[in-house]
């Protein structure tokens, strides 16, 4: 990555990422609160209400549908894999999650994807797509019976 590009990414990060990232983080926090077992405290109720007010209704709607089905609404991404359905997240999506400009859903399970902060590699290390070993198709010479 050139310095110029890093600068652009920095700008994007400063401009857009806090809101998008915060939305998913709020969703995740909400999920943790809603899934919490034990006695419902007034504090927890207040926190849930506060978080729900911060999240746009449309986003909350999809989240609630997933939660109503007894599924989690937000999936963490670890090592490029959706932690809920264990399917690899496309590398393009995984890269976008570092500086989210939008919300991303898992292609497979439809949950909102959240890249935990400790999964974000420093900008100094370029996110090179992992080299996929090329399978060599070795053709065996066909023995022709004469």
Contacts with Zn ion, residue ranges (CB under 5 A): 82, 84-85, 106, 108-109
- Closer residue to Zn ion in complex, CB, 30/82: 82
Q: What is the DSSP letter of 142?
A: P
- Closer residue to Zn ion in complex, CB, 29/114: 114
Encoded tokens for 36:
């919490």
User: Smallest gap, in angstroms, from Cβ of residue 66 to Zn ion?
Assistant: 11
- Closer residue to Zn ion in complex, CB, 50/87: 87
- Closer residue to Zn ion in complex, CB, 44/83: 83
User: Smallest gap, in angstroms, from Cβ of residue 138 to Zn ion?
Assistant: 36
User: Smallest gap, in angstroms, from Cβ of residue 12 to Zn ion?
Assistant: 25
Q: Long-range pairs for 98-101 at CB < 8 Å and ≥24 separation?
A: 98/127, 99/9, 99/12, 99/13, 99/16, 99/17, 100/16, 100/17, 100/20, 100/21, 100/24, 101/12, 101/16, 101/17, 101/20
User: Smallest gap, in angstroms, from Cβ of residue 71 to Zn ion?
Assistant: 10
Q: What CA–CA distance (Å, rounded) separates 100 from 12? A: 9
């Amino acid at each position: 990555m050139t310095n110029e590009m890093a600068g652009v990414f920095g700008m994007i990060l400063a401009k857009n990422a806090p809101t998008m990232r915060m939305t998913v983080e709020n969703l995740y926090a909400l999920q943790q609160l809603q899934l919490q077992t034990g006695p419902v405290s007034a504090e927890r109720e207040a926190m849930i209400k506060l978080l729900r007010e911060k999240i746009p209704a449309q986003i909350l709607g999809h989240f609630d549908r997933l939660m109503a089905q007894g599924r989690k609404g937000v999936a963490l991404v670890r090592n490029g894999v959706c932690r809920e359905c264990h399917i690899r997240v496309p590398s393009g999506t995984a890269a976008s999650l570092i500086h989210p400009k939008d919300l991303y859903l898992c292609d497979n399970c439809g949950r909102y994807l959240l890249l935990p902060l400790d999964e974000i590699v420093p900008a100094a290390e370029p996110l090179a797509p992992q080299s996929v070993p090329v399978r060599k198709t070795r053709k065996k010479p066909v023995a022709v019976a004469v």
